[in-house]
Amino acid sequence: MAHQSDLIARDIGAYLHQQQHKSLLRFLTCGSVDDGKSTLIGRLLFESRLVFADQLEALVADSKKSGTQGEEIDLALLVDGLAAEREQGITIDVAYRFFSTDKRKFIVADTPGHEQYTRNMVTAASTADLAIILIDARKGVLVQTRRHSLIVSLLGIRKVVLAVNKMDAVGYDQNVFDAIVADYGRFAARLRSDLEIVPIPLSALKGDNVIEASTKMPWYAGRTLLAHLEAVPVEDEQDRRPFRMPVQWVNRPSADFRGFAGYVSGGVIKKGDLVRALPSGHESRVARIVTHGGDLESAVAGQSVTLTLEDEIDVSRGDLLVDVASAPSPADQLQATLIWMHENPLLPGRSYLLKTGARTVTATITSLRHKLDINTGDELAAQTLAMNDIGVGNVALDRKIGFDSYEGNRETGSFILIDRQTNATVGAGLVHFPLQRADNVHWHALDVSKKARAEAKGQKASILWFTGLSGAGKSTIANLVEKRLHAFGHHTYLLDGDNVRHGLNKDLGFTDADRVENVRRVAEVAKLMADAGLIVLVSFISPFRAEREFARSIVEAGEFFEVFVDVALEEAERRDPKGLYKKARAGTLRNMTGIDSPYEAPEKPEIRIASGQTSPDEAAAQIVDALRAAGRLR
């Protein structure tokens, strides 16, 4: 007689084998708070009885112990369990759940409805084939409905179920349903033209039109929600697209094996196919397609494989292997839709990290073309993006990389933006196209180098970046340092914040976005002057660490010296040489650093000057000595 555990194992094996031959639909649920997402998902899981069986049985057992019976109690317990997960913090992530029916298997992404978690909905939508957008029949189309619909459209989801829920709360009134569908249709007409919208009236709580057709809405002749999910076509579009595989790592366990491991994000690859590595442009043919289960003759989108090539070409982690016939041209400038996910706004000119696949580069939003009005879809002028804003902007990278448009390939046409200081993910991007200027502008090789220019002056190119509150004494000390260096025969130039605002930066104000651009421009000028072999002194408040770190990052190691002229706010206000603090306290001057605009003090400056404890002459001598000790002066 077979042991019980053997029978269970056999049943599980048969179940898994059965699931392998079913098509998979990935969908997400989204909408506003309390529109019934948990109840709807609970109903689908409860009715399928194929997922979380141990959890469901435990819930049923608990209900029986308490003396309650019936389907409604079992379902309520399951829904309560889903709601409890949300209370325990799952609202900050996306909860993925698997369930199956006789016809298809499903992965559903349960996204939170709160506006502050829109970023989680973006994560879920990036891999979904279909979106269920729930609307509370009592409330109709809300702002969050529009926001989620816009994101669904932007992220390439063409199939939408408009689930008008809680029809039981409006007496199953067809007029209510029709009005909501019409209202939503007017908004959706502004979205992508190929959007397929299927409206379904339902009650997740009562089960109407979820699994079984409702007898209380005879006026609705369409499919139930589950029937639609089982029947909707799932197109393997990625299989029909050109081959793409971002290289996750280079595998070289022995001298005679060098493989490139990654996830095939588009197309088909076969032994003998010619591929190109981007951004290098080197080409070779596929020698082997290696998996844990053995070599394959071909691999398709969705498979993780290791490719070996016939030639020893330059391929590194983060590179992109592509089909030669449809290879994109590497570029370092692009236009993209930007979805902002952080409470700190996007600031054009600020340096961020851009991650796509396994490749991380430095990126700057050079300009915002517009942001989108969530309610109307209209394009609005904008200088920044706040949390949950969506806009279109131009992005500049510090090097060329290979990428596709998002429409062409979701994986190779998308990216995330990361704050350089905190490593927090602050935004997501969907690539439109490379900018033409990326192909038309090239570096011109120069015969005279920075080193040669500096040696002719008896020095090493350097940047002294003076930062501190207004009134700290930055300009005074910088002026004295330049006088000392000039007296010693060194070649210098002093970029003073006020002076630069009379010319190069006369168009900028004092908002955070303007301050970022102010420093970005001066950092680029300082870099050019350092390339000329000069010792450049920059005296700017430069209140944000991110911009000071950007200025450091664009020059060679050892060239940048952050000089923090440290003074207490109270002392700076007492000095108030320009009367700015007095104006700020009186309310006639806005965005004053230290008053109503923040100052982020350096954490590890190369030189710290204790203003008030050190005289300007002593500070200047200290700075010159530090340059000499670092080997920057002859």
User: pLDDT tens digits for 563-611?
Assistant: 999 999 999 999 988 899 999 999 898 889 989 889 999 999 999 999 8
Per-residue pLDDT at 5: 43
Confidence of residue 59 (pLDDT cuts 50, 70, 90): very low
pLDDT of 256 higher than 50: yes
Looking at the chain, the whole-number percentage of residues with pLDDT higher than 90 is 56
Instruction: Round to whole Å and give the CA distance between 534 and 531.
Output: 7
Residue-by-residue DSSP string for 58-127: HHHHHHHHTT--SHHHHHHHHHHHHHHHHHTTGGGS-EEEEEE-SS-EEEEEE---SGGGHHHHHHHHTT
Per-residue pLDDT at 88: 42
Computed from CA positions of residues 148, 154, 155, 160, in that sequence, does the dihedral angle turn out positive or negative? positive
pLDDT in tens, 341-381: 888 999 998 999 999 988 999 999 999 999 988 767 788 98
pLDDT in tens, 163-180: 999 999 999 999 999 999
pLDDT in tens, 142-163: 988 888 888 888 888 889 999 9
304 is an active site residue? no
Number of C-alpha atoms within 13 angstroms, CB side, residue 384? 17
pLDDT of 125 higher than 70: yes
**Residues for the chain: how many in total?**
634
Burial of 365 (0-12, 13-18, 19+ CB in 10 A): buried
The catalytic position among 48, 214, 542, 611 is: 542
Confidence of residue 238 (pLDDT cuts 50, 70, 90): low
What is the gyration radius of the CA atoms in the chain, in angstroms? 31
User: 387: Cβ–Cβ under 8 A, 6 or more apart, which residues?
Assistant: 116, 340, 341, 342, 343, 345
pLDDT in tens, 494-504: 999 989 999 99
pLDDT of 297 higher than 70: yes
Per-residue pLDDT at 440: 60
DSSP single-letter state for residue 445: P
DSSP single-letter state for residue 385: B
How does 521-543 read in b/e, with b if 16+ C-beta sit within 10 Å?
A: ebbebbbebbbebbbbbbbbbbb
Residues linked to residue 307 through DSSP beta bridges, in sequence order: 260, 289
Top pLDDT among 115 and 411 is at 411
Please work out, in degrees rounded to the nearest 5, the angle formed at the alpha carbon of residue 467 by the alpha carbons of 463 and 469: 165
The tokens of 77 are what?
A: 């317990």
Instruction: Round to whole Å and give the CA distance between 379 and 390.
Output: 10
Q: Find, among 341, 424, 339, 337, the residue nearest to 117 by Cα.
A: 341
pLDDT of 545 higher than 80: yes
In what helix (H) or strand (E) does residue 340 lie, and over which residues does it extend?
strand 331-340
Backbone dihedral region of 407: left (phi > 0), alpha (psi from -120 to 50 degrees) or beta? alpha
Sheet with 462-467: strands ordered across: 492-496, 535-539, 462-467, 560-566, 607-610
Q: Find, among 380, 401, 281, 265, the residue nearest to 334 by Cα.
A: 401
Which domains can be identified in the chain, with CATH numbers?
15-231 (3.40.50.300), 242-326 (2.40.30.10), 331-436 (2.40.30.10), 450-629 (3.40.50.300)
pLDDT of 491 higher than 60: yes
Per-residue pLDDT at 93: 53
> pTM for this one?
0.74
Number of C-alpha atoms within 13 angstroms, CB side, residue 439? 7
Confidence of residue 118 (pLDDT cuts 50, 70, 90): low
pLDDT in tens, 378-392: 889 898 999 888 899
Q: Find, among 527, 442, 445, the residue nearest to 493 by Cα.
A: 527
Per-residue pLDDT at 356: 92
**For range 77-89, the mean pLDDT:** 46
Instruction: Round to whole Å and give the CA distance between 574 and 471.
Output: 9
Peptide bond before 279: cis, by omega within 30 degrees of 0?
yes
pLDDT of 474 higher than 70: yes
Sheet with 130-136: strands ordered across: 95-100, 105-110, 24-31, 130-136, 159-165, 196-201
Tell me the residue type at 258: R
Tell me the residue type at 4: Q
Instruction: Round to whole Å and give the CA distance between 536 and 454.
Output: 12
User: 82: Cβ–Cβ under 8 A, 6 or more apart, which residues?
Assistant: 38, 41, 42, 95, 110
pLDDT of 198 higher than 90: yes
The tokens of 503 are what?
A: 């010319």
Instruction: Round to whole Å and give the CA distance between 47 and 74.
Output: 11
Q: What value does the mean pLDDT of the chain take?
A: 85
Highest mean predicted confidence (pLDDT) among 38-42, 72-76, 222-226:
222-226
Tell me the residue type at 489: G
Confidence of residue 403 (pLDDT cuts 50, 70, 90): very high
Alpha helices in 425-473 (DSSP H): 437-440, 450-455
Instruction: Round to whole Å and give the CA distance between 220 and 200.
Output: 8
Residues linked to residue 478 through DSSP beta bridges, in sequence order: none
Long-range contacts of 173-177 (CB under 8 A, 24+ apart): 174/201, 174/217, 174/219, 174/220, 176/137, 177/137, 177/201, 177/220
Is the separation of the CB atoms in 407 and 421 below 8 Å? Answer: no
Per-residue pLDDT at 57: 44
pLDDT in tens, 511-540: 888 889 999 999 999 999 999 999 999 999
Please work out, in degrees rounded to the nearest 5, the angle formed at the alpha carbon of residue 247 by the alpha carbons of 243 and 253: 125
Please state, in angstroms and as integers, the Cα–Cα distance from residue 541 to each residue in 125, 469, 538, 590, following that order.
Answer: 42, 6, 10, 16
**For range 193-210, the mean pLDDT:** 92
Is the separation of the CB atoms in 409 and 417 below 8 Å? Answer: no
Tell me the residue type at 241: R
Give the range among 110-124, 195-209, 493-507 with minimum mean pLDDT: 110-124
Instruction: Round to whole Å and give the CA distance between 511 and 590.
Output: 9
Top pLDDT among 105 and 71 is at 105
